[in-house]
Amino acid sequence: MTTNHTTGAAEAARRLRARELTSTELVTAHLERIEALNPKLNAIRQVLTDQALRDAASADERLAAGTPRGPLDGVPITVKDNVDVAGTATTQGVAALAGALTDTDAPAVANLRRAGAIPIARTNMPDFALRWHTDSGIAGPTLNPWDPALTPGGSSGGEAVALATGMSLLGVGNDLGGSLRWPSQCAGTAALRPTLGRVPHARSLEPTATPLGLQLIDVQGPMARRVEDLRLALRVMAEHDPRDPWHCPVPASHAPDAPPRVHVLTELDGVTLDPSVRTAIDRAAEALRAHGYDLTDDAPPGIDEAAAAWGPLMATDARRAWPSLSPTASASGRRFMELMFELVPPVTMDEYADLFTTRHRLARAWSEHQRRVPLVLAPIYAGRPFAAGADLDGVSSAAAIVTNLRATLVANVLGLPSVAVPVGVVDGLPGAVQLIGPRFGEQACLRAAEAIETIQTATSPPGT
């Protein structure tokens, strides 16, 4: 095969259409890489070998005939274990759901299949996607390929590690509290958290409806090695699906011709940026400046207030659902939720309702501000990756993680798009930043991320 494990999905798709390689060769190479690396890293929970090879053979017939199904025809992808893939179990990282087979693809997966993408594996995640470290009750821990003593992030940690080590070309994950962007920082990969409603989402297994807070915060999004892959995946994944009543079939918008103004966020109340994180932000800011972006101190309003709303919104919904979920969770999953419930005290229903009023007020204020300054360059996590499992060390450790994720949680609460982009190795570990944009401003985020991407060459974890 004439490609390698640093190839991107869009590049692979171009080479498939040019008949420089076949889908069977491409899929086989990734299955072999999974076989070689996954026993050590545990990023993949289930490999879909037989079906993937059948799909690759069908793709090769279409490509040879010059009738590709879509822009990703023949490209192998991986899917997080809480996103439905027909014919497989959607385990949500829980051993008790090993037999939870679905015969229906989630909307994002269905859209990718219609474009010709081939699911080759399901990736590991923590129980019910409820930790910022990947250690599941069904598959155990995923290791960070840069340093196994450190977390690979979560909850989409399996996806990020699979991408970083060349076991996947494109991944499907989701983001309730930074679960696309945080593991991307840990692994040195890219990810897009789309605007709320941009990518349709539905699940076939009960409960098919989720609490209000999750409906307004959780989104599905692509993970990749390169920003151009995120752009292509968004176009495909965002196609309409009637199963999601929140979906907004917004046409793909173009980024403005002139680079927009960017606020560089380096000051957060009570948050100390690790020097490596500040270096990553400085690198990204310099790249944006070199590409004509106007960097400004004009900060958006209510950053701390928006981030503070995330905890009680999520904990209130979790407290209602946890009694039915807890019996099937692993001991580590239960321990994490105990810490979170201790960290975030219960609120009254009136206080819970007021959080949505706060969310609306802040979203409007941000929308007005983003007319002047459309983009925010910000840290994803204010520190280096914590030690694997340190999120279970106590309430103070859990509190530190939430604090360090403050800039990330803002985008979740306000439903805004955000792109995680690597900036190269900083002090031996991958550095990354995020760009937060206005509603449906994904293209502006992606263009700025591509400018940042130019400062680094492709890097791979040691030994891969």
Half-sphere exposure (Cβ direction) of 291: Cα atoms closer than 13 Å: 21
Cβ contact 158:80 at 8 Å:
yes
What is the C-alpha to C-alpha distance for residues 158 and 172, in angstroms, rounded to an integer?
Answer: 11
Q: Which tokens go with 64? A: 């040879």
> Percent helix, strand, coil in the chain (nearest 5)?
45, 15, 40
Active site residue 397: no
Active site residue 40: no
End-to-end CA distance of the chain: 17
- 23, 136, 155, 156: the catalytic one is 155
- In sequence order, what are the beta bridge partners of 88? 102
Q: Which tokens go with 204? A: 């076939």
Q: Which tokens go with 353? A: 């309702």
Q: DSSP secondary structure string, 164-210?
A: HTTS-SEEEEEESSSTTHHHHHHHT-EEEEPPTTSS----SSSP-S-
Cβ contact 159:172 at 8 Å:
yes
- 23, 136, 168, 179: the catalytic one is 179
Q: Which tokens go with 379? A: 């840290």
Give the three-state DSSP class for 282: helix
Element (H, E) at 434: strand 429-436
What is the C-alpha to C-alpha distance for residues 410 and 304, in angstroms, rounded to an integer?
Answer: 8
What is the C-alpha to C-alpha distance for residues 421 and 451, in angstroms, rounded to an integer?
Answer: 10
What is the C-alpha to C-alpha distance for residues 232 and 238, in angstroms, rounded to an integer?
Answer: 10
Residue 361 burial (10 A CB sphere; 0-12, 13-18, 19+)? middle
| DSSP 8-state symbol, 129 | G
- 80, 156, 184, 330: the catalytic one is 80
Cβ contact 120:31 at 8 Å:
yes
Active-site amino acid positions: 80, 155, 179
